[in-house]
């Protein structure tokens, strides 16, 4: 019988402070790596949540962790600000029974806290915010994919994808699907439930995990091809763009473009609205990681230490 163990995953407001907390307040960090609320408080932080990633530690490790911010799903948060700080009350918070408190419950807590501050002669301002839903996808070396609610740490679902003995690459997601590559097979899962929907064999060996757009899924390969599949008509033959060099990082999608780097130092950019590469940026060394998009700008960095910004 397979022995099941757990790996603890903690979420702090500023993860970069964890290392500093360990160095400065080592006695307040437990053996499993969790930063205590006291240590976080000394750094001006608070621990939002921590949870368990299910895996067999004798055989598997966490291989990838991907964050997806929804474009369609939102939840309500009440923000209470006052001179000495800020507090958030979310409808996704859970009560002592593990149930979400909902909008009414969050509003009740926020107003009660505001009244406490008022009684202490502290002025507080209460605002209602609409926050996009965030999901973390944790992928293990044995193909187990676990979806976590970014607001609460609650496990949405766990799915076994493909062959445990085949390498599994970083997952990609949109508001409907989660795409995973195991070996040379592309798997598509339902984003809400983790239920498998379809799978197909890739034309070439993948170089990195897939990126999902609204209608297409983009797969980088070690042959230099960017393979593009239709999400709804997955049996159709893919179309592709041939690049110079190997594709070893997931493509980046914006509202109007798709970009991908190669190990030969090229960054390709194409329109996601019409066929054809718009332009190609040439660096002096390998571009090993995905580009980063901000409105109106595309950033990339090469191995020789240069950073590039494209308008």
Q: Where are the domains of the chain?
A: 5-59, 68-131
Tally of CB atoms within 10 A around 111: 14
Q: How far is Cα of residue 3 from the mean position of the Cα atoms in its chain?
A: 28
Distance (Å, rounded) from C-alpha 163 to C-alpha 247? Answer: 23
pLDDT at residue 17, as a whole number: 45
pLDDT tens digit sequence for 30-43? 666 677 778 888 88
Main-chain phi, psi angles of 105, to 5 degrees: -65, -40
The two structure tokens encoding residue 303:
């191995």
Instruction: Please give the pLDDT value at position 7.
Output: 47
Nearest to 292 by CA among 239, 262, 252: 252
* Dist CA 302 CA 162 (whole Å): 33
Q: Output the pLDDT for position 21.
A: 45
Confidence at residue 277, expressed as pLDDT on a 0 to 100 scale: 82
d(CA 259, CA 105): 43
Structure-block tokens of residue 70: 């929804």
pLDDT tens sequence for the chain (311 residues):
334 444 445 454 344 444 544 455 445 556 666 777 788 888 878 777 888 888 888 888 999 999 999 999 999 999 999 998 889 999 988 888 888 899 999 999 999 999 999 999 999 999 999 999 999 999 999 999 999 999 888 899 999 999 999 999 999 999 999 999 999 999 999 999 999 999 999 999 999 999 999 999 999 999 999 999 999 998 999 999 999 999 999 999 988 899 999 999 999 999 877 667 888 999 999 998 999 999 889 999 999 999 999 88
Per-residue pLDDT at 40: 80
The pLDDT of residue 18: 46
């Amino acid at each position: 019988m397979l022995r099941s163990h757990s790996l603890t995953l903690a979420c702090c407001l500023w993860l970069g402070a964890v290392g500093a907390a360990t160095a400065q307040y080592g006695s307040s960090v437990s053996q499993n790596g969790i930063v205590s609320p006291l240590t976080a408080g000394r750094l001006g932080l608070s621990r939002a949540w921590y949870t368990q990633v299910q895996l067999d530690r004798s055989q598997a490790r966490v291989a990838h962790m991907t964050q997806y911010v929804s474009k369609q799903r939102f939840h309500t948060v009440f923000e209470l600000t006052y001179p000495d700080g800020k507090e958030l009350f979310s409808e996704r918070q859970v009560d002592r029974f593990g149930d979400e408190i909902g909008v009414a419950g969050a509003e009740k807590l926020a107003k009660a806290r505001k009244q406490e501050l008022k009684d202490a002669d502290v002025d507080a301002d209460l605002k209602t915010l609409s926050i996009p839903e965030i999901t973390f996808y944790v992928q293990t070396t044995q193909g187990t994919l676990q979806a976590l609610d970014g607001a609460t740490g609650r496990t949405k679902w766990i799915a076994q994808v493909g062959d445990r003995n085949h390498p599994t690459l970083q997952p990609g997601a949109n508001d409907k699907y989660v795409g995973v590559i195991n070996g040379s097979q592309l798997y598509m899962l339902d984003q809400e439930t983790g239920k498998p929907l379809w799978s197909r064999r890739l034309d070439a060996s993948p170089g990195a995990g897939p990126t999902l757009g609204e209608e297409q899924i983009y797969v980088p390969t070690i042959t230099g091809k960017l393979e593009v599949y239709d999400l709804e008509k997955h049996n159709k033959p893919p179309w592709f763009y041939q690049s110079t060099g190997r594709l070893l990082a997931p493509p980046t999608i914006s509202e109007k473009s798709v970009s991908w780097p190669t190990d030969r130092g090229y960054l390709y950019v194409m329109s996601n609205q019409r066929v054809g590469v718009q332009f190609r940026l040439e660096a002096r060394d390998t571009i090993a990681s995905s580009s980063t998009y901000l409105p109106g700008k595309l950033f990339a960095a090469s191995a020789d230490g240069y950073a590039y910004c494209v308008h």
